[in-house]
Amino acid sequence: MEFEHVIGITFRDKSVLETALTHSSYANQHKNMPYNEKLEFLGDAVLQLCITEYIYRHFTEKSEGELTKLRAIIVCEASLHHVAKSWNLGQYIRMSKGEELTGGRDRAALLADGVEAVIAAVYLDQGMDAAKAFVEKNFENLIAMAQRNEIVLDYKTSLQEILQENGEIEIKYELVKFEGPPHRRKFYSKVVIDDITMGKGEGYSKKESEQLAAKDALEKYVKPENEHV
């Protein structure tokens, strides 16, 4: 498989990688086809363990609380999305045409889940030592960025911290509208500061639309050096 060359792993059992690259929307159209949801669950645990051990060994001067915060930044959705983009993962995930037409190949949450599924596939096929090496190789730059505070945990928190540096400012997120069927509802939100709309966002959950509204505000009104991942 071409994707094996992208990530530098040759699988003994190709089917486990195929499952990792199969979204539920595609599997629903093909009876009894396995998809990556359970692999995401496993991959999250493997990733957490690998990163926890790595930062425990390499950042001995940090306290438990500092390590916990560092780990949360490294394994957040923004970081996983960053890894997914480096693999061009969206190109390789099997999904339904409907999912693709609604932006699935670029959706951060879907791609982040896909990274976790691939990590689980490496673990199942190659073992824990290979999984650790794989995670450390692909997250090395992110670990360094997190150490330098160059990864934003979430756009809403980042926007709040920047705008409230010199005092309290009221930041409100308002749902503008939503549309579509219940199983594929799209939400449109805006972030309002001092009664002025500073950013707009849309997504397939209210939370995602608010995060993207905050990102929009950051990109429009905050200096580029404050934008990360």
The answer on 219 and 118 residing in a single domain is: no
pLDDT in tens, 97-119: 999 998 889 887 899 899 999 99
Identity at 103, one-letter amino acid code = G
DSSP 22: B
Say what percent of the chain tops pLDDT 70.
Answer: 93
- CA-closest candidate to residue 209, choices 178, 181, 182: 178
DSSP 83-134: HHHHHTGGGT-B--HHHHHTTGGG-HHHHHHHHHHHHHHHHHHH-HHHHHHH
| Overall pTM > 0.75 | no
Q: Is 40 known as a binding-site position?
A: yes
CB atoms within 10 A of CB 72: 14
- What is the residue range of 112's domain? 2-147
Range name among 21-35, 107-121, 166-180 with the lowest pLDDT average: 166-180
Structure token pair of residue 115 = 């990274």
Kindly give, in sequence order, each residue whose CB lies less than 8 Å from that of residue 222, ignoring residues fewer than 6 positions away: 159, 162
The rounded mean pLDDT for the chain is: 88
We report the CATH number of the domain holding residue 8 as 1.10.1520.10
Pick the catalytic residue: 18, 77, 99, 116?
A: 116
- Out of 82, 114, 147, pick the residue that ends a domain: 147
Q: Is 227 known as a binding-site position?
A: no
The answer on 41 and 20 residing in a single domain is: yes
Pick the catalytic residue: 44, 99, 125, 210?
A: 44
Q: Tell me the average pLDDT across 153-174.
A: 78
Q: Is 161 known as a binding-site position?
A: no
Active site residue 44: yes
For residue 194, being part of any structural domain is answered with yes
**From CA 136, how far away is CA 226, in angstroms rounded?**
26
Asked whether the beta carbons of 198 and 170 are under 8 A apart, the reply is: no
**Helices 128-147 and 108-126, interaxial angle, to 10°?**
140
Q: Tell me the average pLDDT across 131-141.
A: 96
**From CA 200, how far away is CA 196, in angstroms rounded?**
12
- Give the per-residue pLDDT at 228: 42
- pLDDT level of residue 177 (50, 70, 90 thresholds): very high
- pLDDT level of residue 224 (50, 70, 90 thresholds): very low
Active site residue 13: no
Kindly give, in sequence order, each residue whose CB lies less than 8 Å from that of residue 81, ignoring residues fewer than 6 positions away: 108, 111, 112, 229
pLDDT exceeds cutoff 60 at 221: yes
* Helical ranges in 182-228 per DSSP H: 206-221
The answer on 191 and 105 residing in a single domain is: no
The answer on 93 and 15 residing in a single domain is: yes
- pLDDT level of residue 225 (50, 70, 90 thresholds): very low
34-71: b (≥16 Cβ within 10 Å) or e: ebbeebbebbbebbbebbbebbeeeeeeeeeeebeebb
The answer on 111 and 35 residing in a single domain is: yes
- Give the per-residue pLDDT at 153: 53
We report the CATH number of the domain holding residue 216 as 3.30.160.20
**From CA 163, how far away is CA 34, in angstroms rounded?**
46
Range name among 90-104, 108-122, 152-166 with the lowest pLDDT average: 152-166
- pLDDT level of residue 152 (50, 70, 90 thresholds): low
177 or 181: which carries more pLDDT confidence? 177
* CA torsion, ordered 98, 100, 103, 109, to nearest 10 deg: 100
For residue 229, being part of any structural domain is answered with no
The answer on 212 and 129 residing in a single domain is: no
CA distance to 67, 68, 97, per residue, from 63 (Å): 6, 9, 48
Total tally of structural domains belonging to the chain: 2
3 or 229: which carries more pLDDT confidence? 3
